Amino acid sequence: MLTHTLAANNVFWAVVIVAGVVCLIVFAFLQQFFGLWLQALLSNAPVSLLELVGMRLRKADPRMIVLCRIRAVKAGVPLTSHQLELHYHAGGNLPRVVDALVTAQTAGIELTWEEACAIDLSGHDVLEDVRSATDFKAQTV
């Protein structure tokens, strides 16, 4: 009876130790995303922790995507993290596209996400194109 109790006690502690180690590993993995998640949440551009983990697993740069999303949302350009990640994986220059959309909106130039992405992926500098259009619009007024 005493041997059975000791064996059960050893198994219990082994399970507790293994569970503790697994929890520490999961906590350490999620901790790297917590600050980014909180920043997005407080900026009214929420991105879930699962989305951030998914971005990392899909070899995207979660920090760049979240910061671009925050910039877009703050400027009133409604972009999703999924749209941003798709353009990132397509090889686009995400910060330039978001800056171009923000600049276009500020200048009153109609530019859609799809158009900006197409211009960017064609090899043109979409931000310079928008700036040129802004300068042209200013000269004609």
* Residue 8 resides in a domain: no
* Residue 103 resides in a domain: yes
Question: What pLDDT is stored for residue 138 in this prediction?
Answer: 65
* Residue 87 resides in a domain: yes
Question: What pLDDT is stored for residue 70 in this prediction?
Answer: 96
* Residue 54 resides in a domain: yes
Residue 80 φ/ψ, nearest 5 degrees: -95, 160
* Residue 127 resides in a domain: yes
What is the domain count for the chain? 1
For the record, the structure tokens of 85 come out as 């990640």
Is 33 in contact with 53 (CB distance < 8 Å)? yes
Helices (H), 78-112: 81-89, 94-107
* Residue 4 resides in a domain: no
**Average pLDDT per 10 consecutive residues for the chain, totaling 141 residues:** 65 87 85 90 94 94 96 94 97 96 92 95 92 76 59
* Residue 66 resides in a domain: yes
* Residue 69 resides in a domain: yes
Using alpha carbons, select from 38, 112, 106 the residue that is nearest to residue 75.
106
Question: What pLDDT is stored for residue 30 in this prediction?
Answer: 78
Question: What pLDDT is stored for residue 32 in this prediction?
Answer: 83
* Owning domain of residue 93: 33-140
Residue 109 identity: I
Question: What pLDDT is stored for residue 13 in this prediction?
Answer: 85
The four Cα atoms 99, 101, 103, 104 give a dihedral, to 10 degrees, of 160
